[in-house]
Amino acid sequence: MEFTIDHFNINVLDLEKSLTFYEKALGLKEEKRNTAGDGSYIIVFLGDGTSAGKLELTWLKSQKTPYNLGDEEFHIAFKTLDFDAAYALHRKMDCICYENKEMGIYFINDPDGYWLEVVPVR
């Protein structure tokens, strides 16, 4: 029996702000959207156009305060062929929250405070 990762879900407070961030910072584009008939939620799947895995953003109408992200001990990692250009973009966006130069990686924060790791293709 084999399994592959289909998607990873995170909940967001401001869907449009998150969609803008993920497209600008990581080049992810909306591939599918599900909206509840009663407007209570919107689910948007983002993709990178090359891999099968998706990032699922869930917006809940009832959520009015930022999500509790605990101790930020989890993250999503993104690989890039042009690490230096990615770093320059994220520095310009002022979203780098942690760097580990020895490991050659860094992390950015999305609008909800989720940590996203950026690693070079090695």
How far from chain centre, in Å, is Cα 25?
A: 9
* pLDDT given at position 3: 67
Q: What is the domain-level CATH number for residue 45?
A: 3.10.180.10
Residue 48 lies in a domain: yes
The identity of residue 60, as a single letter, is L
Q: What is the pLDDT of residue 2?
A: 79
Identify whether 92 is part of a domain.
yes
- Decide if 90 is inside a domain: yes
Query: What distance lies between CA 84 and its chain's CA centroid?
Result: 19
- What's the total number of domains in the chain? 1
Q: Rounded to the nearest 5°, which phi and psi values hold at 89? A: -60, -45
CA separation, residue 65 to residues 10, 11, 88, 89 (Å): 15, 12, 31, 29
Question: Domain range spanning residue 84?
Answer: 7-63+73-120
Assess if residue 28 is contained within a domain: yes
Instruction: Tell me the mean pLDDT per 10 residues along the chain, length 122.
Output: 84 98 98 97 96 95 92 86 96 97 95 95 87
Give the model's pLDDT for residue 27: 97
Q: What is the pLDDT of residue 39?
A: 96
- Assigned domain for 105 exists: yes
Its pTM stands at: 0.90
Q: What is the pLDDT of residue 104?
A: 95
